[in-house]
Amino acid sequence: MAGASALEHFRLQELADGVHAAVATPRGYGLCNAGIVDLGGVTLVFDAMLTPQAGEALRKAAERLTGRPPTWLVTSHYHGDHVRGSVAVGAGHVVATRRIRELVLERAPVHLRSDLEEAGRELERLRSGALEVGKVERVVYEGWFEGILATPKDLRFVPADVTFDSELVLHGSRRTARVLTFGGGHSPSDVLVYLPDERIGFLGDLLSVGFHPSLADGDPEEFVRILGRVQELGMERAVPGHGPVAPGSSLADMQRYITVLRGTAREARARGLDRDAFAAAPPQPPFDAWTFSLIYQESARFVYDRAGAPPA
């Protein structure tokens, strides 16, 4: 499978000996961050990125860094920017919750067809100026839409062949990785990897740093609860799904983001502001400087609607 060099899709950042974050570049076809961990005798890759091209680059990087192909591919959730590179990563085993496995089989192909239908139109709107986004966002969206268009229509999705309910521990001769889920917050089921010796976590989209998180396929209330559970692990460094590697304290920032958005949605409804006007208004500082403004608007509408729903 043809692919560009790894640095076109991501840059590698060493977090500890044998532990690397693959941080997506703005113009590449990776979009989300990933991870490569040498457990000792076996190699773990966390998330497969947006495209087979990025997935192939991840596999080559893993082989170069660890001297072997990936043994384990851990899938954080079923969204396309985290799973479409899976077949190219070529791991011996794919790990996820049973719910993520079901969603990869049921929804991921449907979402790919929808994305392929829309990406060309959105790319044209972006280039014509009809899609109004800032300069930084423009680069990210262009890589995103082009990456979708470069994805084969008949892409084979790779569901997990190893599933777990709450925790799976993977042991190597160098280190141990805890593969954990606390439920679904960003999506119906979210998985993270925690390296207890190094106190490093790979969070998927349970954490975004400088990027608006997508909330419309999840449960904001559960999201806040899950982030609390993650903080109890005591991680010192966190690899988000989008944005730079950050200290563990960034988890509290993510909680605050969701809490503030829910609060402003309730206030907007109380003032009689309609959902589209609420979504079009700038986010509260400091979140108004974050990337993915279009995702923010989608999340704002979702949270606004939930703010008017009767308590469960």
pLDDT at 4: 40
At 223-237, the pLDDT tens digits run: 999 999 999 999 999
Domain-embedded: residue 181: yes
| Tens-digit pLDDT profile for residues 30-47 | 999 999 999 999 999 999
Phi, psi of 221 (to 5 degrees): -65, -45
Number of domains forming the structure of the chain:
1
Supply the CATH number for residue 45's domain. 3.60.15.10
**Per-residue pLDDT at 19 exceeds 80:** yes
Percent of the chain with pLDDT over 90: 93
Helices (H), 18-134: 52-66, 80-83, 86-89, 98-106, 108-128
Given pLDDT bands bounded at 50, 70 and 90, which one contains residue 253?
very high
pLDDT, tens digit, 9 for 90 and up, residues 110-158: 999 999 999 999 999 999 989 888 888 999 999 999 999 999 999 999 9
Domain that holds residue 15: 6-107+155-248
pTM: 0.95
Q: Answer whether residue 292 is part of any domain.
A: no
